Structure 1
C-alpha cells in the first residue's frame, strides 16, 4: 500500500517556515466521483423491495444453511477491503488508453479473442493498481463515454497491462447492471459497481442499492437464479443449498435502531431491509465487498477506512446483525 501523505504543507515566507494543514475537504474533492447510480434507473440494483415481497418456500432451510456456513467459517460475516475487493478508477477524457492483453492464467490453452478487441484501448490511470490477493480485481469507469471495464487477475509487467478475464460494458447507464454471458469478474456476471459498498456511501452511512454477498458454498452451478447468468457453485445434491443469484433481505420488522452495532453495520442492516443482498460469488468465508481503498491510496490520499471503521476491524463491523432474521426471496425474483 502506498505511504500516506503528510497532512501538512510547508511554505517559506520572509525566511520563516510555517506549517499549514491541508483541509480534509480538499482531499475528498480531489477524488473523482462515481455516480450513485451507474446502471439503468430500472435496474434491480436500485429497486427497493416491497414489504410484502413473497418468501421462498425453503427460506427457513436457507437461513439455517447460511448460519451453518457463518458458524463453520470464522463465525462472522466480514467486509473485504484491500483483498478480494475491487478498486474503482474513474478515468476522464484525458486519460490515455492503453492495451490490456488477455493471458491464460488458468492454463486452458486458449484466449477469448473478443477480450483482446474489447481491451485494445482502456483508460487506465498511471497510478492504478489491482487489488491484493489472488483475484487481483480492478474496475475502470469512464463517465464521459459511459463505459466500464472489469479485470480479474490483472497485473502490470514491464509497464504493460494484462488480465485473465473480465469485460467491457458500453452504454452502462442503459444497462440493467448484468454483464453479458460469460463476461465480468464475479462468478455470476454481476458487476462490482452494482453490489460493492462504495467509499462515499459508507462515509455517508447511506446505502441505496442491493448488496452483493459471497457464500462459502453455493448449490451446484447448474442451478442459477436471476439476476445471475452463471455460477461457480459446487455443492452437489444439497437440498438446502443456496443458489447463486438468489436474493434475500433482513426482515423489515427488525428494529435496526435498537441493535447494538457499529454505525456502519446499522447502515448495512437498513439497506438489507430495503434492498437486500444477492449471492454473487463463492469465497473462503461469508463476505461483503467494499470499494478497495487503493482507489485513494495509490493517489497518495489517506486510507478512508481509518475513519470509516475507526478502531473496529472489518470482521467485527457486522457483529450484532440478526442473521437469523433473514428472509430468502423466490427463485428469479424480479426477473423482467
Structure 2
C-alpha cells in the first residue's frame, strides 16, 4: 500500500479546484492531510472530501513545509507568488495555470510524454497544460509515429467554464434575460455571448493572436516533442457551459491510411472512438467523462495527405483536474 502524502490545493474553491479535489477522492489517491487554500476573500468556505466538509484557508498564511505536493489552480499571479515558496520548502508543484516557464516546469500529459519525468530532480515543478493541449496531445500522440505530421490546423470551440464561475453565471443570466425578452446588459463579457459565437477568447497580442492560442501552440509542440511543427489555432468562445470541442486537420507527407488511423485511435488510452455515421457531442457524451471522444475521422475531400477529426472532451474534468491528478500519480514513487 502506498504511503499517504499531505497535499495542498491552491484555488480549491474554483471550478477546477473543486473538480480536482473530487477526482482525488474518486481515484483513491493516497492523501494524508488535505489542505484547501484560497484567497483571503474565499477562505472560510468549505469543500467536501471523503465524507467531510473541509474549510479553506488563506494561502497567504500557509506553511508549505507541511505538504509534499501542491496543486496550483488559482490563476497565474497566484502561482508566480507562491510556487517559489512551495519549492523552497521542498514541496513538489503541479501548476495548472501555465504561469511557470517550460524550462522550470515541463508540461506533462501522461498519455503523451510520461518519459519526461525520468530525468527530473526533486523537488519537481511540473505543468499540467491547458485543456486544449491535453485533448490534442491525447489524440495526436498515438498518431505521431503512424503519420508524418507536417501541419496541424485547429479550431477550438471553448466552453464558458474555462473562465470560471463568474463566466458560467453570466451565460446563465444572459440566456434567462433573452428568453424572457428582457434587455441584455453584458457584464463579464464585453458583448452578448448567449446564442452567439465570439471569435476571440481572452486577450490578444500585437499580431492578433490570442494568448490562449499562443499557449496551445507552445504546449502542443512540447508535449509531442516536435518543436518545429507548424500549428495554426483559432479559439472561439461558444455558449456551452462545459465541454470543449475541436475541429482538427492534419496535413501529412504521405497518403493517410484511414483503417490504420482508426485502429490506433481505438487502441489508445483515454480515447473513445465513435464509429463512422455517428458523432460525439459535449453535452451528450463528453461532460462528466474521463476520455477524449473522437469522431468524423476522414480524409480530405481532394487531398489524400489530409486527415480530419472532430474531438470533444470535458474541459474541467479530463482537460484540467484529471490530467493534474494523473501527473501526481506518476510522481507518487518519488514523494514517498
Shorter-chain TM-score range: under 0.3
Pick 1 or 2: higher relative contact order, CA cutoff 8 A, min separation 6: 1
Under a length normalisation based on structure 1, what TM-score does the superposition of the two structures give?
0.24
Q: Larger % of helix: which?
A: 2
Q: Larger % of strand: which?
A: 2
